[in-house]
C-alpha cells in the first residue's frame, strides 16, 4: 500500500468523521477558488442536482469532477438524478437500505420523512465509523426477508470477495417488486469479469483491479451474476438521455452504467 494511503487510513481511525468532513469542505473550497484563478475561461456555469446549486465550475480531480459544496463525483450526481427524477425517491413512501452511503446523499436522505432510511457500511480498512451509519455486512444482512423497497449500493460490490452472496442477500431482503440500484466500475473492453483470488496485496490489487481495495474488475457479464441471484436486470446508460451541453452542465460522464435490479414473483 502506498505511504499516502496508509496515512489516510490512519487518519480515518484517529480523527472523528465530523472533523474530517470539516477538513474536506475547507479543501473543496480551497481547490474551487484555486482553479477559478488558474482557469479563467468559463464558457458555462455548472449545476449539481444533489446540492441544487449552481457553480462557476466543478473541481477537476484527476479524471473526475467534484461538486464544490459536497464533494459529489460525476457518477454520484448521475445516480442521484436518476433516483430523484426516474424513481421519484423524494416523494415516495419507501424503506431504503443504502450501503456505503455517500455523504452528499446521506445529508439529504436521513432527513426525508417519506423514507425509512437505513444507511450502513462494513467499516473495513480505509473506511471508518460515521455518526448515524449502522455496521452492515452486505453478505450477511441482519434483516428479515422482504424488508426493503429499495437497496442502493454505488461502487460496493467490487470490494466484496463473495459478491454472489451479496447479490443473494440483496434479493432476499428486497420486497416483491422492490428495486436494487447498483453501480460498479466496468471495463467494457473485457469479455469476462477479471478476478484472481491470489491477488491479495494492496499493491497488486491496485495494479490488477485499479484500486488497492478492489478484488475484481467487472465486465458486462455482471448482468448474468445478478440474474443468477434471481433478478430481472436492466442495463441503464442513463447519461445517454442528456445532450452534450447538459452533460457539461451537470458534470456527467458516459462510462457510468446503472444496473436496475427488479425482484418479481
For the chain, the average pLDDT equals: 92
Question: What's the rounded mean pLDDT across residues 230-253?
Answer: 96
E strands within the chain? 46-48, 53-55, 59-61, 64-66, 94-99, 115-121, 134-135, 148-154, 174-183, 194-195, 216-217, 232-236, 258-262
Q: What is the model's pTM?
A: 0.91
Residues 132 and 111: their CA atoms lie apart, in Å, by: 12
- Taking only the tens place, the pLDDT of each residue in 148-166 is 999 999 999 999 999 999 9
- Ordered structural domains, the chain, with CATH: 3-262 (3.40.50.150)
Half-sphere exposure of 56 (CA within 13 A, CB side): 13
Length of the chain: 265
Q: What tens digit of pLDDT does each residue of 40-73 get?
A: 766 679 999 999 999 999 999 999 999 999 999 9
Report the distance separating Cα 255 and Cα 186, nearest Å.
8
Question: What residue has cell string 473485457?
Answer: 190
What are the grid coordinates assigned to 224, written together? Answer: 448474468
Amino acid at each position: 500500500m502506498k505511504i499516502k494511503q496508509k496515512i489516510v487510513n490512519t487518519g480515518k481511525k484517529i480523527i472523528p468523521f465530523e472533523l474530517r468532513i470539516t477538513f474536506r469542505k475547507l479543501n473543496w473550497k480551497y481547490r474551487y477558488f484555486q482553479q477559478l484563478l488558474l482557469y479563467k475561461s468559463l464558457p458555462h456555469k455548472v449545476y449539481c442536482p444533489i446540492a441544487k446549486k449552481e457553480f462557476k465550475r466543478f473541481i477537476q480531480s484527476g479524471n473526475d469532477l467534484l461538486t464544490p459544496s459536497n464533494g459529489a463525483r460525476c457518477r454520484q450526481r448521475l445516480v442521484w438524478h436518476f433516483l430523484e427524477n426516474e424513481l421519484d425517491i423524494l416523494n415516495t413512501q419507501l424503506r431504503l437500505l443504502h450501503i456505503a452511503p455517500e455523504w452528499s446523499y446521506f445529508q439529504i436522505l436521513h432527513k426525508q420523512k417519506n423514507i425509512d432510511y437505513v444507511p450502513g457500511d462494513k467499516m473495513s480498512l480505509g473506511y471508518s465509523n460515521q455518526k448515524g451509519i449502522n455496521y452492515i455486512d452486505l453478505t450477511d444482512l441482519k434483516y428479515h426477508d422482504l424488508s426493503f423497497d429499495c437497496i442502493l449500493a454505488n461502487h460496493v460490490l467490487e470490494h466484496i470477495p463473495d459478491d454472489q452472496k451479496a447479490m443473494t442477500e440483496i434479493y432476499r431482503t428486497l420486497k416483491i417488486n422492490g428495486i436494487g440500484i447498483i453501480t460498479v466500475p466496468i471495463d467494457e473492453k473485457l469479455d469476462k469479469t477479471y478476478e484472481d483470488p491470489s491477488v491479495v496485496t494492496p499493491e497488486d490489487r491496485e495494479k490488477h483491479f485499479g484500486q488497492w481495495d478492489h478484488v475484481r474488475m467487472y465486465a458486462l457479464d455482471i448482468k448474468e451474476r445478478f440474474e443468477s441471484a434471481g433478478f430481472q436486470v436492466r442495463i441503464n446508460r442513463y447519461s445517454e438521455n442528456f445532450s452534450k451541453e447538459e452533460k457539461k452542465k451537470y458534470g456527467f460522464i458516459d462510462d457510468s452504467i446503472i444496473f436496475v435490479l427488479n425482484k418479481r414473483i
